[in-house]
C-alpha cells in the first residue's frame, strides 16, 4: 500500500526538524504547493527524457539586439536557429541581482526588467522545456529579505545564517578564498553572517522552516510560469553546522528529497537537477536511492575530457568511465563540457595526480586561460577552476602547444559528449565556438567573465552565414551531429553503456538501446596522429549490417580495419 503523501513528507521533515511538529509543517508545505495530503504520486522510476533531449545553457542576455529586450531576442534566435536542435533551454538566473552575473538574487519572484518579463519567459517555456536556477544556498546582501534581517523585521529577520568568530569553523569546506564570516550591523548590534561564496551572497538559514516554506512557494510560482527543470545551485552547502565541513550534511540530502517530492507531485514531468561541483564520489551521492536528484551534473567529464584531448591519452577518462555506475531508471547524468563557470578541478580529485592537474593548468594558461583559487582547511590557496573558453582550451596539446587541429579537437569533444550515457547540455558559447573574451573579463574584474561574453544578433547572423568562419563550421557540424544523435534509440540517456579497451589513443564505448534493437560502437581518435583499428577488436556481429552514422560509410568486410584521422570519430551502428 502506498504511503500517503503527508505521512511520507512528515517523515522526511522529522529528520531535518526533529524539534517541530512535522505533521503540522507537512500540512503547511502541502498547502503552499497546492497539493492534497493524499495526492497520487507520479509513476515510479519514470524517465522524463529520451534520446531527443538536448539542453542549451545560456544567459538571458547573451544575445542582444538594439532596442529589444534580450529575452525576446533569445526566443527569436532559438526558434530561427535551434528549434530542430535543442529540446530544453536553461536560462541562467534571469532575476534582479546585485553581483555574480545573476547568482546574487535580489528578488526570486521578479524578472530582471533589463532582460524582459514573465510573459517572455512563458513564451520560451511554450516552445522548449524550460530550466531555471533555484539559487537556494544564498541571497543578495541588497535584497529586501536581508534589509529586513538588518532591521530585525519579518520576512527576513531569521532567514540568514549567523555564526560567531569563536565557533569551530576549521573544517568548513570552502570554494573561495574570501572570508567565510562577514560583520553586519543590525538593530541588535553587530552580527556575523555566513558567506560561502562572497560578501554579497549571504547564506540562507534552512534551520528556520520559514525559509523552506518561502522556497516551496517560489517553486510553485516557477512551475506555474512554465519551469519544468530545476537546477539546485550550490545545493551541497545548504545546511551548515560549526564543527563540521558544512557540505553534504544529512539535512541537505533530506531537503533535496523534500523538494523533489513536492515538485514531482505537483508536476510529474518536472526534473530536479543538483549542481555540486565536488569530487566524483561525493557528486554521485546526490542520486540518493533514486529519490533525490533526477539528474546530476557530470562534473568530472569536462576536466577529464579536456585533459584527454590535450595529452592524447585516454587512460584516466577510460578508468573514470568504467567506474561510473549506470543511473537507475528515473535518474540520469547531465553531461556537459563547458558552462558559464570555469572548468572545475575538484572533480578530478582522485582521478588525476597533482602533477597531471598542474600540467593541465599550465597548458590552459598557455592557451590564454586563468586560474581561480579556493582556501583549504589548513589555510592554503589551491587551484579551484580554470577560466577559459572551451574553444581556446582545445587549441593545442600539452607537448606541442597550439596547432591546426583546434576545430577538429573541439568537434571530437562534443562527439564524445553526445554519445555518452546521459543528457547532453551545450553551453551557447560552445555551439558558437566563442573564444576567450579578455575585454569582458577586464571590464568586470572577474575571471569567469572570460567565458561569459555577449553577442550582437547581427554579428551571429553574419558569422553563421559565412561558410569560411570557424563559428559557422562548428555550428553547422554540431547541429548535424545532434540531429543524428536524436534519432538513435541506443543514445537514450539510460541505454546500456560499456567501455571498450582500444589502447590509449582511441577512446571507445558501446551503447545498446533499451529494446536491444540497436547497438552503436562509439570510437574516437583523441590524438593528433592517424590511428588504425582492426574491426575484429570491437566484435561486430557478422549477421548485422554496419554503418558509420557520422560519415555514412558502410562496413562490409568485418575482417578488415578502419583508419581514423586525428580527432575523427565514428558511430558504428547496426541500423540507420
- Which residues, 6 or more positions from 248, have their beta carbon under 8 angstroms from its beta carbon? 236, 278, 282, 285
Which H/E stretch holds residue 322?
A: helix 315-323
| Other Cβ atoms closer than 10 A to 487 | 11
Q: DSSP letters along 136-196, please?
A: -SEEETTSHHHHHHHHT-TTTTT-B-EE-TTS--TT---SSSS-SEEEEEETTEEEEEE-S
Half-sphere exposure of 416 (CA within 13 A, CB side): 28
List 64's β-bridge partners, or say none. 456
Q: DSSP letters along 469-488, please?
A: SHHHHHHHHHHHHHHHHTT-
Residues 513 and 535: their CA atoms lie apart, in Å, by 21
- Nearest-10 crossing angle of helices 5-16, 250-266: 160
DSSP SS3 for 554: strand
Contact predicate 278/299, CB 8 Å: yes
Query: Is 101 one of the annotated active-site residues of the chain?
Result: no
Q: Which of 233, 392, 437, 548 is catalytic?
A: 233
Query: Of 447, 424, 420, nearest to 436 (Cα)?
Result: 447
Half-sphere exposure of 245 (CA within 13 A, CB side): 13
Residues 65 and 79: their CA atoms lie apart, in Å, by 16
DSSP SS3 for 424: strand
269 assigned to a ligand binding site:
no
9-44 burial, b for 16+ CB within 10 Å, e for fewer?
A: bbebbbebbeeeebeebbeebbebbebeeebeebee
Which H/E stretch holds residue 323?
A: helix 315-323
548 assigned to a ligand binding site:
no
- Which residues, 6 or more positions from 291, have their beta carbon under 8 angstroms from its beta carbon? 257, 260, 261
Q: Is the dihedral of CA 195, 341, 435, 530 positive or negative?
A: positive
- Which residues, 6 or more positions from 490, have their beta carbon under 8 angstroms from its beta carbon? 51, 511, 512, 513, 518, 519, 520, 573
340 assigned to a ligand binding site:
yes
Residues 108 and 169: their CA atoms lie apart, in Å, by 30
Contact predicate 232/256, CB 8 Å: yes
231 assigned to a ligand binding site:
yes
Residues 47 and 358: their CA atoms lie apart, in Å, by 39
Contact predicate 400/429, CB 8 Å: no
* Pairing relationship of beta strands 201-203 and 295-297 according to DSSP bridges: unpaired
CA 207 to chain CA mean position, Å: 27
Contact predicate 415/452, CB 8 Å: no
Q: What DSSP state is assigned to residue 104?
A: S
Residues 59 and 272: their CA atoms lie apart, in Å, by 20
341 assigned to a ligand binding site:
yes
Q: Give catalytic residue positions.
A: 233
- Which residue positions form the known binding site for substrate? 100, 138, 231-233, 340-341, 448
- Which residue positions form the known binding site? 100, 138, 231-233, 340-341, 448
Amino acid at each position: 500500500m502506498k504511503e500517503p503523501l503527508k505521512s511520507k513528507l512528515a517523515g522526511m521533515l522529522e529528520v531535518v526538524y526533529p524539534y517541530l511538529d512535522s505533521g503540522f509543517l507537512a500540512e503547511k508545505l502541502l498547502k503552499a504547493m497546492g497539493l492534497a495530503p493524499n495526492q497520487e504520486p507520479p509513476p515510479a522510476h519514470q524517465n522524463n527524457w529520451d534520446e531527443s533531449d538536448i539542453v542549451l545553457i545560456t544567459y538571458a542576455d547573451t544575445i542582444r539586439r538594439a532596442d529589444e529586450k534580450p529575452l525576446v531576442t533569445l526566443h527569436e534566435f532559438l526558434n530561427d536557429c535551434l528549434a530542430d536542435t535543442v529540446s530544453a533551454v536553461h536560462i541562467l538566473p534571469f532575476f534582479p541581482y546585485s553581483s555574480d552575473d545573476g547568482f546574487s538574487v535580489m528578488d526570486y519572484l521578479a524578472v530582471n526588467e533589463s532582460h524582459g518579463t514573465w510573459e517572455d519567459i512563458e513564451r520560451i517555456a511554450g516552445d522548449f522545456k524550460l530550466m531555471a536556477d533555484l539559487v537556494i544556498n544564498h541571497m543578495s546582501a541588497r535584497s529586501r529579505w536581508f534589509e529586513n534581517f538588518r532591521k530585525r523585521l519579518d520576512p527576513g529577520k531569521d532567514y540568514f545564517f549567523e555564526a560567531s568568530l569563536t565557533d569551530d569553523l576549521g573544517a568548513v569546506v570552502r570554494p573561495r578564498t574570501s572570508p567565510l564570516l562577514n560583520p553586519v550591523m543590525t538593530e541588535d548590534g553587530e552580527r556575523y553572517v555566513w558567506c560561502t561564496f562572497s560578501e554579497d551572497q549571504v547564506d540562507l538559514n534552512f534551520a528556520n522552516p520559514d525559509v523552506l516554506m518561502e522556497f516551496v512557494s517560489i517553486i510553485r510560482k516557477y512551475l506555474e510560469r512554465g519551469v519544468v527543470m530545476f537546477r539546485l545551485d550550490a545545493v551541497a552547502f545548504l545546511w551548515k553546522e560549526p564543527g563540521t565541513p558544512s557540505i553534504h550534511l544529512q539535512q541537505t540530502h533530506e531537503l533535496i528529497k523534500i523538494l523533489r517530492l513536492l515538485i514531482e507531485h505537483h508536476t510529474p514531468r518536472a526534473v530536479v537537477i543538483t549542481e555540486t561541483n565536488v569530487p566524483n564520489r561525493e557528486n554521485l551521492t546526490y542520486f540518493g536511492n533514486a529519490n533525490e536528484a533526477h539528474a546530476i551534473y557530470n562534473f568530472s567529464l569536462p576536466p577529464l575530457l579536456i585533459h584527454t584531448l590535450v595529452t592524447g591519452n585516454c587512460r584516466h577518462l577510460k578508468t573514470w568511465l568504467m567506474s561510473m555506475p549506470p543511473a537507475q531508471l528515473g535518474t540520469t547524468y547531465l553531461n556537459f563540457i563547458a558552462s558559464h563557470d570555469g572548468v572545475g578541478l575538484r572533480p578530478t580529485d582522485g582521478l588525476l595526480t597533482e602533477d597531471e592537474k598542474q600540467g593541465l593548468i599550465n597548458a590552459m594558461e598557455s592557451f590564454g586561460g586563468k586560474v581561480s583559487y579556493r582556501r583549504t582547511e589548513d589555510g592554503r590557496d589551491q587551484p579551484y577552476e580554470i577560466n577559459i573558453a572551451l574553444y581556446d582550451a582545445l587549441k593545442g596539446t600539452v607537448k606541442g602547444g597550439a596547432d591546426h587541429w583546434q576545430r577538429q579537437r573541439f568537434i571530437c569533444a562534443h562527439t564524445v559528449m553526445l554519445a555518452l550515457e546521459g543528457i547532453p547540455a551545450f553551453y551557447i558559447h560552445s555551439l558558437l565556438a566563442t573564444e576567450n573574451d579578455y575585454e569582458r573579463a577586464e571590464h568586470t574584474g572577474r575571471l569567469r567573465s572570460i567565458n561569459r561574453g555577449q553577442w550582437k544578433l547581427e554579428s551571429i547572423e553574419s558569422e553563421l552565414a559565412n561558410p569560411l568562419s570557424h563559428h559557422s563550421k562548428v555550428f553547422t557540424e554540431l547541429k548535424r551531429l545532434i540531429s543524428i544523435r536524436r534519432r538513435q534509440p541506443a543514445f537514450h540517456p539510460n541505454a546500456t553503456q560499456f567501455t571498450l579497451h582500444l589502447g590509449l589513443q582511441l577512446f571507445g564505448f558501446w551503447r545498446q538501446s533499451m529494446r536491444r534493437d540497436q547497438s552503436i560502437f562509439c570510437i574516437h581518435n583523441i590524438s593528433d596522429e592517424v590511428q588504425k583499428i582492426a574491426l575484429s577488436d570491437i566484435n561486430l556481429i557478422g549477421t548485422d549490417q554496419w554503418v558509420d552514422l557520422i560519415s555514412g560509410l558502410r562496413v562490409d568486410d568485418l575482417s578488415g580495419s578502419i583508419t581514423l584521422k586525428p580527432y575523427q570519430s565514428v558511430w558504428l551502428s547496426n541500423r540507420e
